[in-house]
Amino acid sequence: MVVKVYGQIKAANPQRVLLCFLEKGIEFEVVHVDLDQLEQKKPQHLLRQPFGQVPAIEDGDLKLFESRAIARYYATKYADQGTDLLGKTLERRAIVDQWMEVENNYLYAVALPLVMNVVFKPKFGEPCDVTLVEELKVKFDKVLDVYENRLATNRYLAGDEFTLADLTHMPGMRYIMNETSLCGLVTSRENVNRWWNEISARPAWKKLMELATY
């Protein structure tokens, strides 16, 4: 059965789910939700995602929202199909979960307001909070220092294999890498830069970028 993904293919959170599906070889259909027109806040979508965000999925009788929960569910359901995104032992899975939490609570928590101010506010004619941006850059620097240390002794965040720990970072990191004023925070760090270059060369990521017409 084809999984319906409600969202916008260019948006970071739906991309997290779609990248998981591409890595696992899961068939999906994107049902476009126009974020610019605030369709995610309309009553029909709120039935799928009560907080007015994307993505949400429908898979038969199953309805889910929150991208990381969706990715974890399908990585588990189709553990023997496509790329193993979970890790082969309980201990490895715990490390995968740990770095998924780090991505959400430390990296994405800083990257989101940073990208909103540097990328999206100018796009919509709103003023960028320059003072806040400089404060966020300092915080992001400190977060990336932790990543640099981790990746100095590990090929990927959870060890020697690409997993959800890496995958969940990619849509948000793309905004950082595509912004001239921000990408130096990554490229100046040997190990983080090496890691990004490797994971962004994966066929599933390249396919997603094609689907998003970047």
Tell me the backbone φ, ψ of residue 37, rounded to 5 degrees: -95, 10
Query: 149 in a domain, yes or no?
Result: yes
User: Which CATH number fits the domain that encloses residue 168?
Assistant: 1.20.1050.10
Query: 213 in a domain, yes or no?
Result: no
Share of the chain above pLDDT 70, in %: 100
Query: 114 in a domain, yes or no?
Result: yes
Q: How many domains does the chain have?
A: 2
One digit per residue, pLDDT tens: the chain, 214 residues? 899 999 999 999 999 999 999 999 999 999 999 998 999 999 999 999 999 999 999 999 999 999 999 999 999 999 999 999 999 899 999 999 999 999 999 999 999 999 999 988 988 889 999 999 999 999 999 999 999 999 999 999 999 999 999 999 999 999 999 998 899 999 999 999 999 999 999 999 999 999 998 5
Instruction: Please check whether residues 130 and 174 belong to one and the same domain.
Output: yes
Query: 49 in a domain, yes or no?
Result: yes
| SS (HEC) of 25-80 | CCCEEEEECCCCCCHHHCHHHHCCCCCCCCCEEEECCEEEECHHHHHHHHHHHCCC
What is the structure's pLDDT at 125?
A: 87
Q: How many residues does the chain have?
A: 214
Instruction: Please check whether residues 116 and 31 belong to one and the same domain.
Output: no
Instruction: Please check whether residues 105 and 177 belong to one and the same domain.
Output: yes
Task: Write down the residue that tokens 């100095």 correspond to.
Answer: 152
What is the structure's pLDDT at 214?
A: 58
Q: Which two tokens stand for residue 152?
A: 């100095």
Instruction: Please check whether residues 110 and 202 belong to one and the same domain.
Output: yes
Which of 82, 109, 140 terminates a domain? The answer is: 82
Separation of alpha carbons 209 and 96, rounded Å: 24
What is the structure's pLDDT at 124?
A: 83
Instruction: Please check whether residues 136 and 49 belong to one and the same domain.
Output: no
Q: Domain limits at 48?
A: 3-82
Query: 133 in a domain, yes or no?
Result: yes
Instruction: Please check whether residues 78 and 95 belong to one and the same domain.
Output: no
> Model-level pTM greater than 0.85?
yes
Give tens-digit pLDDT for 29-85. Answer: 999 999 989 999 999 999 999 999 999 999 999 999 999 999 999 999 999 999 999
Which of 82, 108, 135 terminates a domain? The answer is: 82
Instruction: Please check whether residues 73 and 104 belong to one and the same domain.
Output: no
Which of 40, 63, 82 terminates a domain? The answer is: 82
Question: 3-class DSSP state for residue 164?
Answer: helix
